[in-house]
């Protein structure tokens, strides 16, 4: 039941992600587009897409459920196949390629702006609202946790829209998340030792190994993008058969190009090169290099621009944790001799007591929200939140404890 419920969403997301990749292959192949697609499907790629016969006999029905980008690409492929002219494909896909380039320019602008909005909401805005609620009575702690939860969901949704899904990095293997299980025994140990904020500290320590694994994974994915671009450049500048230039340096035999890889963009470029080696049309290598280089340049430029996101997240973590620490520290001052006077205007210590008791859970939820926001806008994948979790969680823990220790001296 649940599988059938999510199948249309999965189909749409997969087709949206593969749209740019398939366009690269079809534009680079000397064969007619649907003939190329049939060969790819025979090799086990893009098998979720409608097959040759269905696209030609009833394209409207065959394209149902796919993303608009994929529909435009396959519709152009059908027109070119029926006319027997590749020029028809290039004419139809010109608008699609222009739309993709526009998406790149908009993403470069939107990602930074949206991240600042989200991180500010998670940090300062939520902190000020929760502080006000805590002074008025119970409910501030739950408001802080709920705000972090909804901010995480919002970051995932907005990150998918702001960061083009077709250019996002793939999700790491599931087994790489297994070290996160160490958070549970660490939490139990720290709780037994009466260490302050055991959940926040155990999350910071327990996610270090996974963070390192995923950091290496991302570096390897970026390196693969660059190596593939270099391969296409070498092939496009080759004199004669480009296979001779690729053999030994990039591949040992042409079949190496059709080995599955988890990076859909890299996979598409390798499949395009394979099609060119198989059917000829070496002049298409220059077009492939031009389109792919633009995409790689965008990814590198965006990653360079968003490198400061972790710094922003750390600053937000310091500010929000210090705000909570100051609020807890001034409780004796506010509700000492003047407690009765404050009670007459509806201000009691109940809200601050609740906030202090739930501080560990609050800081943990803020760490998760900031980590998800950073990975959604920098990597295009919320599942890579683990890269940033140790730094953000440890920052929240350290700044809160330091502020808790030094704030009372300010009011003496």
Conformation bin of residue 194: beta by default, left when phi > 0, alpha when psi is -120 to 50: left
In angstroms, the CA 367 to CA 400 distance is: 13
The answer as to whether 198 is a domain residue is yes
The per-residue pLDDT for range 66-100, each reduced to its tens digit, is 988 888 888 888 888 888 777 767 776 777 767 77
**Residue 410: what pLDDT?**
61
Q: 167-171, 199-203, 269-273: which has the minimum mean pLDDT? A: 167-171
In angstroms, the CA 207 to CA 31 distance is: 49
The answer as to whether 124 is a domain residue is yes
Most confident of the following: 4-8, 39-43, 332-336, 407-411:
39-43
pLDDT higher than 70, residue 348: no
- 290 Cβ contact partners less than 8 Å away, ≥ 6 residues apart: none
Q: 40-49, 153-162, 295-304: which has the minimum mean pLDDT? A: 153-162
The answer as to whether 295 is a domain residue is no
Q: 9-13, 115-119, 206-210, 300-304: which has the minimum mean pLDDT? A: 115-119
φ, ψ for residue 247, nearest 5 deg: -65, 130
What pLDDT band is residue 17 in, cutting at 50, 70 and 90? confident
The per-residue pLDDT for range 170-220, each reduced to its tens digit, is 889 999 999 999 999 999 999 999 999 999 999 999 999 999 999 999 999
- 335 Cβ contact partners less than 8 Å away, ≥ 6 residues apart: 342, 348, 349, 352
What pLDDT band is residue 340 in, cutting at 50, 70 and 90? low
The per-residue pLDDT for range 243-253, each reduced to its tens digit, is 888 888 888 88
The answer as to whether 26 is a domain residue is no
The answer as to whether 164 is a domain residue is yes
Based on the structure, what is the number of domains in the chain? 1
- 206 Cβ contact partners less than 8 Å away, ≥ 6 residues apart: 179, 180, 182, 183, 186
In angstroms, the CA 364 to CA 201 distance is: 9
What pLDDT band is residue 2 in, cutting at 50, 70 and 90? very low
Residues in the chain: 412
**Percent above pLDDT 90 for the chain:** 28
Average predicted confidence (pLDDT) for the chain: 84
**Residue 306: what pLDDT?**
78
**Residue 336: what pLDDT?**
55
- Please, is 400 exposed, middle or buried when counting C-beta atoms within 10 Å of its C-beta (0-12, 13-18, 19+)? buried
What residue has token string 């690729």? 246
Structural domain of 169: 111-221+304-410
3-state SS class at 321: helix
**Residue 335: what pLDDT?**
57
- Torsion (CA) 95, 111, 213, 320 in degrees, nearest 10: -170
- 89 Cβ contact partners less than 8 Å away, ≥ 6 residues apart: 26, 27, 33, 76, 77, 79, 80
Based on C-alpha coordinates, what's the Rg of the chain?
A: 27
pLDDT higher than 90, residue 316: no
The answer as to whether 96 is a domain residue is no
Distances (CA, A) of 344 to 337, 348, 410: 13, 9, 27
Distances (CA, A) of 251 to 172, 175, 227, 272: 25, 29, 12, 14
Give the predicted TM-score (pTM) of the model.
0.86
Distances (CA, A) of 211 to 163, 214, 216: 22, 5, 9
In angstroms, the CA 129 to CA 299 distance is: 37
Mean pLDDT for the stretch of residues 143-167: 81
**Residue 39: what pLDDT?**
92
In angstroms, the CA 108 to CA 301 distance is: 8
The per-residue pLDDT for range 78-87, each reduced to its tens digit, is 888 888 777 7
**Residue 402: what pLDDT?**
92
Q: 132-136, 142-146, 296-300, 309-313: which has the minimum mean pLDDT? A: 132-136
pLDDT higher than 80, residue 14: yes
Angle between helices 86-120 and 284-305 (to 10 degrees): 0
The answer as to whether 16 is a domain residue is no
Asked if residue 388 lies in contact with residue 375, where contact means CB atoms within 8 angstroms, the answer is yes
The answer as to whether 262 is a domain residue is no
Angle between helices 350-357 and 126-136 (to 10 degrees): 130
């Amino acid at each position: 039941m649940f599988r059938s419920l999510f199948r249309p969403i999965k189909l749409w997301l997969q087709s949206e992600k593969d749209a740019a990749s398939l366009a690269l292959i079809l534009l680079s192949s000397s064969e007619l587009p649907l003939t190329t697609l049939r060969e790819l499907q025979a090799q086990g790629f893009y098998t979720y897409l409608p097959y040759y016969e269905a696209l030609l006999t009833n394209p409207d029905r065959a394209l149902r459920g796919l993303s608009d980008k994929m529909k435009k690409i396959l519709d152009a492929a059908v027109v070119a196949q029926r006319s027997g002219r590749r020029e028809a494909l290039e004419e139809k896909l010109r608008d699609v390629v222009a739309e993709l380039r526009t998406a790149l320019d908009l993403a470069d602008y939107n990602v930074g702006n949206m991240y600042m909005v989200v991180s500010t909401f998670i940090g300062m805005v939520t902190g000020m609202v929760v502080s006000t609620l805590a002074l008025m009575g119970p409910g501030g702690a739950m408001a802080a946790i709920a705000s972090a939860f909804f901010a995480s969901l919002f970051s995932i949704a907005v990150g998918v829209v702001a960061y083009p899904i077709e250019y996002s990095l793939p999700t790491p293997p599931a087994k790489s998340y297994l070290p996160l299980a160490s958070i549970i025994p660490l939490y139990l140990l720290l709780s037994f030792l009466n260490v302050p904020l055991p959940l926040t500290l155990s999350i910071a320590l327990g996610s270090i190994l996974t963070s390192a694994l995923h950091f290496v994974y991302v570096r390897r994915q970026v390196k693969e993008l660059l190596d593939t671009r270099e391969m296409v450049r070498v092939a496009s500048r080759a004199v004669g058969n480009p296979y001779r230039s690729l053999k030994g340096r990039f591949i040992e035999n042409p079949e190496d190009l059709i080995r599955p890889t988890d990076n859909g963009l890299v996979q598409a470029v390798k499949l395009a090169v394979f099609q060119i080696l198989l059917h000829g049309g070496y002049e298409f290598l220059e077009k492939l290099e031009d389109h792919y280089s633009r995409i790689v340049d965008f990814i590198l430029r965006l990653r360079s621009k968003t490198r400061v996101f972790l710094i922003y997240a750390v600053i937000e973590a310091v500010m929000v944790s210090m705000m909570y620490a100051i609020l807890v520290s001034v409780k004796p001052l506010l509700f000492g001799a003047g407690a009765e006077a404050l009670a007459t205007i509806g201000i009691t210590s109940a809200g601050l007591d609740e906030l202090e008791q739930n501080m560990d859970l609050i800081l943990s939820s803020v760490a998760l929200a900031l980590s998800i926001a950073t990975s959604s806008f920098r990597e295009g994948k919320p599942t890579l939140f683990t890269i940033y979790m140790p730094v953000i969680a440890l920052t929240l823990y350290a700044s809160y404890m330091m502020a808790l220790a030094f704030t009372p001296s300010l009011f003496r």
